[in-house]
């Protein structure tokens, strides 16, 4: 079996056993990236020399008898809005250009502590704002299953890198579904942890109360292992949870006694593909066969989730992106006439259309005349959405739904219709508003062979339950696209 076909767990086991060397794994994956990523466009930066040097270091460590590190020799890709010291970090924006952070994100530090090898940085929608990775200012990322289709967004590069067999593991960020939706489109496992379970230190902020870093993988066990590595308290992040996630990393498909809720509001939605609905309901039958009880639940406030999200997210984005003005950070225009001209032209040249749209929306809802009518009201609705989930989790342990209303759409299909694009995240946004964990696991394909994902949601800090339940749906190493 080729290294690119192996799970992360299997790669580590073989390196520890002396069956393969970390350098051989890295060389094989870099060769695969060099051969195929010119067409896929998953990576914006590939660290050839650094990855090989790191692999040699690990091989020397193993030869000396030191096999510590839960990700020893495992290649990992990082979304390009997560900082890594002295490695170009662009957020796929002209605004950041050649920015090289003077520090690494907490998650990167933890990966390196456990022996991981960072292969490179992956493409995304600019500043993580989008659902298709079409908003990248750098390049287009294609879906490995059908290169005429988008990989989803905003973490499309990370999802595509895993689906294409470039890496067994990748990190993304999820503000409104940006891990789970591309995981669904690309047929991989993607997880948004409980808010606060993973440090956001070193993640370039979009919506600070919504953002969360999480894993992509081809197996449930790999995703759980990666989350276990990156989770935990970080004093540099004031929203970091006190206690580390309790993850067992030992899963079986016995779900006896588990109660799974199917929200009618998620299955009677206009725009839900019949093939997606059928595949997701078939997946819930697998949960039933494994011993789970299936029952209907209601989430009446989720119909307001899209509007609520885009008020809160754009408000936070306008604040977070105000620092990119050509003086404090980011691209600076040439030959400015005065400070106002410097600010306005630098931002005009540095930001793309979608980022500008969200900044303007955010400034509008935060303005003196509209703060109470829009932003304050959205915060109140957000709490009611969270209350809906809390009530539902008094009746059931897990909620099951589609991860996206359709399979991957073609390039350009929704590019000129922002509202239609925003609806791609209709099933995922509520979890970010409520702060609860959500996991997408592949559960089938449509008539065109495009992947379909099942989304599982549960209460705060019960992330382990999602991994256990998803094992009943897909316990194997999911397929590589080519």
Q: What is the pLDDT of residue 418?
A: 80
Q: How is the beta sheet containing 451-458 ordered, strand by strand? A: 43-46, 117-122, 75-79, 169-173, 213-217, 189-192, 438-445, 451-458, 398-402, 259-263, 293-297
Q: What is the pLDDT of residue 477?
A: 65
Burial letters for 379-411: b for 16+ Cβ neighbours within 10 Å, e otherwise? Answer: eebbeebbebbeebbeebbbbbbbbbbbbbbeb
R_g of the chain, CA atoms, integer Å? 21
104 near 121, Cβ under 8 Å? no
Verify cis geometry, omega within 30 degrees of 0, for the bond prior to 376.
Answer: no
Backbone angles phi, psi at 412, to 5 degrees: 85, -10
How many Å apart are CA 342 and CA 436, to the nearest integer?
41
How many Å apart are CA 66 and CA 426, to the nearest integer?
47
The token duo for 201 is 């230190």
Q: What is the pLDDT of residue 419?
A: 78
328 alpha carbon, distance to own chain's centre? 28
The token duo for 442 is 């592949």
Stated length of the chain: 482
Of the candidates 167, 131, 220, the residue with the CA atom closest to the CA atom of residue 42: 167
Q: What is the pLDDT of residue 415?
A: 80
Which residues have C-beta within 8 Å of that of residue 190, sequence separation ≥ 6? 155, 159, 172, 174, 179, 180, 182, 183, 184, 214, 215, 216, 223, 439, 440, 453
- Write out the chain's pLDDT in tens, 482 residues: 899 999 999 999 999 999 999 999 999 999 999 999 999 999 999 999 999 999 999 999 999 999 999 999 999 999 999 999 999 999 999 999 999 999 999 999 999 999 999 999 999 999 999 999 999 999 999 999 999 999 999 999 999 999 999 999 999 999 999 999 999 999 999 999 999 999 999 999 999 999 999 999 999 999 999 999 999 999 999 999 998 999 999 998 899 999 999 999 999 888 999 999 999 999 999 999 999 999 999 999 999 999 999 999 999 999 999 999 999 999 999 999 999 999 999 999 999 999 999 999 999 999 998 999 999 999 999 999 999 999 999 999 999 999 999 999 999 998 878 878 888 899 999 999 999 999 999 999 999 999 999 999 999 999 999 999 999 998 676 779 99
Of the candidates 401, 176, 178, 126, the residue with the CA atom closest to the CA atom of residue 307: 176
The neighbour count for residue 150, using CB atoms within 10 Å, is 30
How many Å apart are CA 47 and CA 119, to the nearest integer?
5
146 near 411, Cβ under 8 Å? no
108 near 202, Cβ under 8 Å? yes
Which residues have C-beta within 8 Å of that of residue 90, sequence separation ≥ 6? 44, 80, 96, 97, 98, 99, 121, 138
Q: Where are the strands (E) in 99-244, listed by range?
A: 117-122, 169-173, 189-192, 213-217
**Any idea which residues carry the catalytic annotation?**
79, 154, 178
SS3 state at 320:
helix
């Amino acid at each position: 079996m080729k290294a690119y076909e192996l799970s992360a767990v299997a790669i580590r086991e073989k390196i520890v056993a002396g069956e393969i060397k970390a350098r051989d794994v890295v060389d094989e994956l870099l060769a695969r990236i060099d051969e195929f990523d010119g067409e896929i466009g998953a990576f914006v930066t590939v660290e050839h020399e650094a990855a090989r040097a790191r692999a040699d270091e690990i091989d020397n460590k193993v030869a000396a008898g030191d096999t510590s590190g839960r990700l020893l020799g495992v290649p990992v890709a990082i979304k390009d809005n997560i900082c890594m010291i002295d490695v170009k970090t662009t957020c796929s924006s002209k605004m950041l250009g050649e920015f090289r952070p003077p520090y690494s994100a907490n998650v990167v530090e933890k990966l390196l502590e456990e022996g991981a090898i960072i292969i490179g940085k992956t493409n995304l929608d600019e500043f993580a704002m989008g659902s298709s990775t079409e908003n990248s200012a750098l390049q287009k990322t294609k879906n490995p299953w059908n290169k005429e289709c988008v990989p989803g967004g905003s973490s499309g590069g990370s999802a595509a890198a895993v689906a294409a067999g470039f890496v067994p593991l990748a990190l993304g960020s999820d503000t409104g579904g940006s891990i789970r939706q591309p995981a669904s489109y690309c047929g991989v496992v993607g997880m948004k942890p409980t808010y606060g379970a993973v440090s956001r230190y070193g993640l370039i902020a979009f919506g600070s109360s919504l953002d969360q870093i999480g894993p992509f993988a081809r197996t449930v066990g790999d995703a759980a292992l990666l989350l276990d590595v990156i989770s935990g308290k970080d004093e540099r992040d004031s929203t970091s949870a006190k206690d580390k996630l309790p993850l067992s990393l030992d899963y079986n498909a016995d779900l006896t006694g588990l109660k799974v809720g199917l929200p009618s509001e998620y299955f009677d939605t206009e725009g839900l593909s019949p093939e997606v609905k059928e595949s997701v309901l078939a997946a819930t039958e697998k949960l039933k066969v494994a011993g789970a009880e299936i029952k209907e639940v209601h989430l009446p406030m989720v119909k307001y989730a899209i509007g609520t999200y885009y008020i809160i997210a754009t408000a936070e984005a306008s604040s977070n992106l105000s620092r990119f003005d050509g003086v404090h950070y980011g691209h600076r225009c040439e030959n400015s006439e005065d400070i106002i001209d410097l600010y306005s032209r630098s931002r005009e040249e540095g930001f793309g259309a979608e980022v500008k749209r969200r900044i303007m929306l955010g400034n509008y809802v935060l303005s003196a005349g509209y703060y109470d009518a829009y932003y304050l009201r959205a915060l109140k609705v957000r709490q009611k959405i969270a209350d809906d989930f809390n009530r539902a989790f008094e009746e059931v342990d897990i909620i099951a739904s589609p991860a996206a209303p359709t399979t991957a759409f073609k390039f350009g299909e929704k590019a000129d219709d922002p509202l239609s694009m925003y609806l791609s995240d209709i099933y995922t946004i509520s979890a970010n508003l409520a702060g609860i964990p959500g996991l997408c696991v592949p559960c089938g394909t449509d008539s065109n062979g495009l992947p379909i994902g099942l989304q599982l949601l549960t209460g705060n800090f019960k992330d382990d339950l999602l991994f256990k339940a998803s094992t009943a749906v897909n316990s194997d190493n999911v397929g590589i696209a080519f």
